Amino acid sequence: MAENSRRRKWTTRHVWLYRLFLAALLSSGHLFSACRAELVASAATAPIDPVLQRIWQSATASDAAYQKLIELCDDIGHRLSGSPQLDLAAAWAVKALRQDGIATARLEPVMVPKWLRGKESLQLVAPRAMPLVMLGLGGSTATPVGGLKAEVLVVRDLAELKTRAAAAKGKIVLFNQAMPAWTPQHGSGYGDTVQQRVHGAQWAFEHGAVAALVRSVTAQSLSTPHTGGTRHQGRGTPVPVAAISVEHAELLARFAARGIKTEVLLQMEAHEEEPAASHNVVAELIGSEHPGDIVVIGGHLDSWDVGQGAHDDGAGVVAAMQALATLQRLGLQPKRTIRVVLFTNEENGLAGGKAYFEAHKAERHVALLEADSGGFAPVGLGVHGKDDAGTAALAAWAGPWLQALAAIVQLQVVPGEGGADISPWLQLGVPNFGLVVQGEKYFDYHHTAADTVDKVDAKELARCAATMAVVAWQLAERPPD
C-alpha cells in the first residue's frame, strides 16, 4: 500500500469523508435500522440474477485463490521493486493466468526505482546497552561507515518538534505518535499517524537533527517493526530514517519522561541504485458488444522486502486473477472487456500505475477497481470521483446499484476509497473503486515480517475474489449510464 497517493491504504480528507459517512449512518438511529431492514427484506424478495449467483457460488466454493497465494508467497516470497523475486512473480502470474485459460496474459515493461536495505541495526548505548528492534524505511539513505551515535530527542509529532527545535540540533529525533485502536466508527487512524513515517526524515533534517526514528504505525505490536515508504526529493532521504517497535519507542519515551538521557548507535547501509526493468501483468476477457470499453480489476504485485506480502498485496493480486479465471471457467463473456492489471512498484514509486496510464490512456476505460486492503472479509465498495462532487455523485449512483447485489453480497458504499495505482485515471474522470474489507487486523501485519500466508483465511479470500468477479461483471454488463 502506498501512502503518498492515497489508501490502503488514505489522505486526511478521505479519512474525514469516511468518518463523516459512518457517523451519519450511526447517528441516524431508527432510520438506519429501518433502511437496513428494508434492504434485507428487499434482498430476500428480489429475484437473484442467475449469472451473478453462478459466479458467486463458483468463486466461493473454490480455494484456488488461496492456492495461488501459497505459490506466490511461499515459492517466491517478498517482492521488492527491482528484485529478482518481483521478476519471478510477474512470470508466475502470466503462467498461472494462461493455465486458467486466459490466453491474453502478457507482460508490459516498466522502469522502477531500486532501493536496497543492506545491513542495519540499532543499539541503545545509554543509559544501558541493549539491541533495539528496527527496520529502515524505504528510500532511506545510509549512515556514515561505522554508524551514527547520538542522543535521542523524543517528540510526539511535528508540532512538538517545532516547539523544541533548539533541542533537536545534532540529535536523533524519535517521533512517538501512537496509532489509535481500530473501531468500526473511525477505522484505523492510519491516514493521520502515517504522516510521521512519510515525512519524519524531512522534518528532522529541517530542524537540524542527524537522523530520525519513527514509532511503527500500528496499534498492536509484539516487538514487530513496520517498514514503509518515505517522501523526499531526489535519491535518498536527507537523513537516515528507521522504524522501531512500539515497545522500544515507549521504552525511550519513558526514559525521556524521567529525565534520563538516552543515546543510540544507528547503522544502515540503505541506498538507491539505478532504475531497474520490471513489468506490469495484463490479461483480459474481450467484451462481446463493447470490446473497446474496459473495466479494470487488479492489485499490486510488489511488496516490501520483509515477510511475504500476503495481505499487502498478494491477496489483492490473486483475488483479481481468480475473479477473471472464474468468469473464464464458467464460459462467460462480458459485454465490455474485463481486464486484470497487476501493477508493479506501488509501494515505493507507483511506476506501474503511471506506466499503465500512459500506455493505455487513449483507450476507453469506464471503471477501475483495485484491491489493496488485505484478504479479509469484504464489507464495502469504495468510490472515488475526480473531486468531492464527483465522489458524492458516484456514491449516490452506487447505493441503489449495490442494493441490487444485496441478495448475493452486501456491501456498504465507502466514499473516498479507491486505489493508488488507478488514481491517475481520476484526471480523465474515470471512476475509481476499491474493495473494502474488514480492517481490524490489517495494520497488525502491514509492512512487517508477519505479513505471511498463515494470516490469510482461505474462505475470506475466496469471498474477495467472488466480490471482485460479481462487481466487475455488473460494471461490464450495465447500460451506458
Residues marked as catalytic: 346
84-99 vs 315-329: helix axis angle to the nearest 10?
A: 20
Amino acid code (one letter) for 21:
F
| 174: β partners | 154, 213
Task: State how far the Cα of 457 lies from the Cα of 478, in Å rounded to an integer.
Answer: 32
Contact yes or no for 429/15 (Cβ under 8 A)? no
Task: State how far the Cα of 209 lies from the Cα of 150, in Å rounded to an integer.
Answer: 10
Task: State how far the Cα of 255 lies from the Cα of 317, in Å rounded to an integer.
Answer: 44
Tell me the CA end-to-end span of the chain in Å, nearest whole number: 31
| 437: β partners | 378
